[in-house]
Amino acid sequence: MLMYLSAAAGLVLLFGGGEFLVRGAVLIARRFGLSSLLIGMTVVAWCTSAPELIVSLSAALEGASDIAVGNIVGSNIFNILVVLGVSAVITPILVNPRALRRDTAVMLASALALALIVVTGDIGRIPAALLLLGLGVYVVFSYRSEVRNPSLPSAAYHEHGADDVPATGSPLAGAAFLIGGLAALVIGSRLLVDGASEIARNYGVPEAVIGLSLVAAGTSLPELATSIVAAIRRHPDVAVGNVVGSNIFNILGILGVTGLVSPMVVAEQIASIDVWIMVGTSLLLAPLLVWRGNVGRSVGLVFIAAYVGYLVFLF
């Protein structure tokens, strides 16, 4: 019973901590005069991925590499099939294809890079450093391009992502949100990893499967909540920006940081099957965004059904 309570409490703390962290960080960033463009590209993107970062780092340091890697691969699959699927069912997603070409290409390149890395069987410090370098190049290039040309469609959805965060109040309130959010994330990640590992041991389920499913879905709750709110407000570009940006940061940033701190061995199942499912879902999404510019309700339902099928396959 304790393992279920631990996992459930961890999920609740991760969700609440992620929300507080985003609000606090955005509030402080605004007080320091950062533009909505920079906030959307960096602060919001990093903070919405903070649960994945804390959980993967905690798991890797505890020797649970399968949970650490499975969390990222599973989160990226969840983001596309569930987060975008649910958002599209609420409000059909219509976007400007030109706004997403660069970021979608980076998302695909990141997924393929990870697939090539995990084929070797581990994520060492050199590949992790290269992932982080790739993230730095992407952020700097994107920001400079959009500052020089504010009329770029991609600049608009980064700004919308920042403007949609309900962050108002004093700098002291922002600091309280930030500290409280970080504390909740650290405690929640420990509870979730411990509970998930115990559940895996008790039922004979590989830790990789728990990481790909329960942990991945739990750490993606902030993205799901943010995208649902964006869909209800008829801001589909924010929902898409959340997913594409999160998938990029998950691979380049989170696995980069985690692998640099604690090199990880990759489970055979993840290397041979799940990472390619992640690549496949990215390839499935790309033409919908960069050519059609829409994800309708029927496609959203297909995405959700595909994720249910994936869970059945896992278990």
Q: For 251-268, how does the pLDDT look when each residue is reduced to its tens digit (9 = 90+)?
A: 999 999 999 999 999 999
Pairing between β-strand 122-123 and β-strand 93-94 as defined by DSSP bridges? unpaired
Give the pLDDT confidence score for residue 203 in this predicted structure: 81
Domains assigned to the chain = 2-314 (1.20.1420.30)
- Residue 255's nearest CA partner among 18, 47, 53 is 53
pTM to 2 decimals? 0.86
Question: What is the DSSP code string of 56-76?
Answer: HHHHHHTT-HHHHHHHHHHHH
- Residue 193's nearest CA partner among 22, 10, 37 is 10
The angle subtended at Cα 85 by Cα 82 and Cα 88, nearest 5°, is: 150
* Residue partners of 279: CB distance under 8 A and separation at least 6: 108, 111, 112, 115
At 136-170, the pLDDT tens digits run 998 888 878 767 776 665 556 656 556 666 666 67
150/156 Cα distance (integer angstroms)? 8
218, amino acid identity: G
Token readout for 157 is 């959805």
Residue 78 or 220, more confident:
78
At 275-311, the pLDDT tens digits run 999 999 999 999 998 888 888 899 999 999 999 999 9
Q: Are 20 and 184 within 8 A, CB to CB?
A: yes
Q: Are 161 and 44 within 8 A, CB to CB?
A: yes
| Token pair 């998930």: residue | 196
Q: Are 233 and 93 within 8 A, CB to CB?
A: no
- Residue 35's nearest CA partner among 162, 141, 174 is 162
The angle subtended at Cα 48 by Cα 228 and Cα 190, nearest 5°, is: 115
End-to-end CA distance of the chain: 21
Confidence of residue 117 (pLDDT cuts 50, 70, 90): very high
Check pLDDT > 70 for residue 86: yes
